[in-house]
Structure formats: structure tokens, C-alpha cells
Amino acid sequence: MLLSVLVYGFINSVILAMVALGFSITFGISRVANFSHGGFYILGGIFTWYGLIKLGMPYFLSAGLSIIIIGALGALMYKVILIRLRGLELSEVIATLSLGIVILELLRGLGVFGYEFRNPVFMDGSVDILGVGVGIQRIIIVCAGALLLILLHFFVHHTKMGLAFRGVAQQEHTALSVGINPDLVSMLSLAMGSVMCALSAVLILPLGVISVDEGYDILIKALAVCIIGGLESTLGVLVAAFIIGYIEVLTSMYISSALTSVVPLACMLGILLVRPSGIFGKSKEIEERV
């Protein structure tokens, strides 16, 4: 029992981290809180499903195309809507949230409901870890999550565009005065966050059925993880994902599985009371020393 908490808690935590990472990356760089995250997530899953089941494309092609389309959608959302609202945080939230709701409710209206909407797992079978049987899909998720983190670290610290991302995130006008275009960087950060969102959808959705309500659930989970960890900190996202991940698994195993969906929100409210900027949030640790 304890071992299965350990193993499943770990996997659940990685899933949460993957879901939250896209949201956190976008916010950390461009300060846009992308509340259409849940909508993009389900849309990515549905596109993959449509290409795979309805059009008969190979799995990787259908998944790859969906990820690209969702990334382009994120960039388009910045270029068409958000660019006019920069700096008006509330309007940004309203715009992205409405877009997310429109996507999700449109899918509901088009009849996305039921067991039919289901992406197959990449590979059948299960492996024994510490005496607990774990499906291969979950193993793939954990490996992909680790790989994604390594790639992300390399991108941000060792490529020109990644360094430009860091520059804009820290001092927009200084970045601008050495030739970095913040609007381009913000657009790319939205594309990147959306790509990560769709990627996590492709990996995670085969574990269950694609449902519209899952979209709202994902948004709340991503938000909770980011707020608990501190909105722009990747380390914070990881730590928070593990905290919520384990509490969720413990709750479902020892209390009631009906209560698991309350866990992220309860943790989020708790953190907001104690430490509003999150565990690793920047609460002015590095004050400018003039």
C-alpha cells in the first residue's frame, strides 16, 4: 500500500508538473496568464483523436500536427488579441479565459462526450516497479517529463532565443535597448507554453477519456501548482507538483477519491493565506542595492 502511494504519487506529481509547466513558462516570460490553457489542452487531445481515428493518420503524425496547430493558435492569440491588451492584466485574463471557455463549450456543443473520445495508449503492457504494476504509458510520461525539463533548461540557458526570453522576463526595456523585440519574445513564449500544453495532452489523455470537464479541471490544477510554487519559478512548479501530487494520492487512497479534486484548490487557498507569492515566488529576496 505504502509503495503504491510512493509510485503513483510520483507519477501523479510528474503529470501535474507537465500540465503546469506550459502555464508557468508563458507567465514567467511574458507575464500573460494564459487561462485558455484548459481549452488548448482538450483541443490538442481532440485534434490528435480526430487525425488518428477519423482521418486514419499515424499516431505520431496526428499528435505532432496537433501540437504544432496548438502552438500556432497560442501565437495567433497573442498577435490578434493579447497584443492590444498588454499591461492590462485583468483584460488579459478575461480574454484568455473567455477564449478557453469558448473552445471548451464549442467542443461540448459539437458533441464531444463519451467513451468514444479516447486516445489509445502508445504502448500496451505494464512494468513492475517496487512491486507495483505500472502501465507503460505512465512510464513514458515520466521519461518525457524529465526529457522536457532537460531540454527546457538547455534552451533557456544556452540558446540565443532562450537567453532573449530571460532578458525580456527580467528587464524588458534593457532587452529592447540591446535589440531584442519583446513582442516577438512574448508571442513565442505563448507558442511555447501552448506547445507544452498540447504535448502534455497527447501524453496524458490516453490514460482516460477526453471530456470537456477535464479541461476546466486541468486549468485549475495548473493554476494551483503555479500559485503554490510561485508563478514564474520552474523549481517551484516541480516542488508544488510533488506536494499536490502526493496529497492527492494519499487523499484518494486513505480518505475518499471523491475529495481529490478539492486538494489543489485547498492547498492553493492555504498557500495564499500564508505566503501569497508562493513557495519560490519572488518576495523581493534580491533587493536592488544602490
- C-beta closer to another protein: residue 74 or 167: 167
Instruction: State the cell numbers at 184.
Output: 516577438
With contacts defined by CB under 8 A, name the span among 107-115, 161-169, 234-242, 252-260 that binds another protein.
161-169
Minimum distance between the CB of residue 237 and another protein, rounded to whole angstroms? 16
Q: What is the smallest separation between the CB atom of 241 and another protein, expressed in angstroms?
A: 22
Measured between its terminal Cα atoms, the distance across the chain in Å is 56
Q: 280 and 235 in contact (C-beta within 8 Å)?
A: yes
User: According to the binding rule CB under 8 A, does residue 284 interact with another protein?
Assistant: no
In the complex with another protein, the residue whose CB is nearer, 128 or 287, is 287
86 forms part of the interface with another protein (CB under 8 A): yes
Distance CA 73, CA 248 (A): 32
d(CA 268, CA 219): 13
Identify which range of 33-41, 165-173, 208-216, 223-231 contacts another protein by CB under 8 A: 165-173
Rounded Cα gap, residues 10 and 17, in angstroms: 11
Nearer to another protein, 82 or 112 (CB): 82
What is the Cα–Cα distance from 33 to 109, expressed in whole angstroms?
A: 26
**CB 152 to another protein: min, Å:** 16
Provide Rg for the chain, Cα atoms: 19
Residue 240 C-alpha cell reads as 508544488
Sole binder of another protein in the list 163, 209, 250, 266 (CB under 8 A) = 163
If one asks whether residue 199 binds another protein (CB under 8 A), the answer comes out as: no
Residues 6+ apart with CB under 8 A from 201: 40, 41, 42, 44, 45, 48, 66
Which run of H or E residues covers position 252? Answer: none
Looking at the Cβ atoms of 175 and 198, the one nearer to another protein is 175
CB nearer another protein, residue 170 or residue 257: 170
Give me the least distance between CB of 286 and another protein, in Å please. Answer: 4
Distance CA 100, CA 92 (A): 12
126, 181, 257, 283: which one contacts another protein (CB under 8 A)?
Answer: 181
User: Does residue 179 touch another protein according to CB under 8 A?
Assistant: yes
CB of 29 to another protein, least distance (A): 12
Cα–Cα distance measured from residue 290 to residue 274, given in angstroms and rounded to the nearest whole number: 30
The CA-CA-CA angle for residues 60, 63, 64, to 5°, reads 80
Find the binder of another protein among 33, 43, 99, 164 (CB under 8 A).
164
**Grid coordinates given for 208:** 482516460
Closer Cβ to another protein, 54 or 160, answer by number? 160
- The residues that touch another protein, with contacts defined as CB under 8 A, are 84-88, 157, 160, 163-164, 166-167, 170-171, 173-181, 286, 288-290
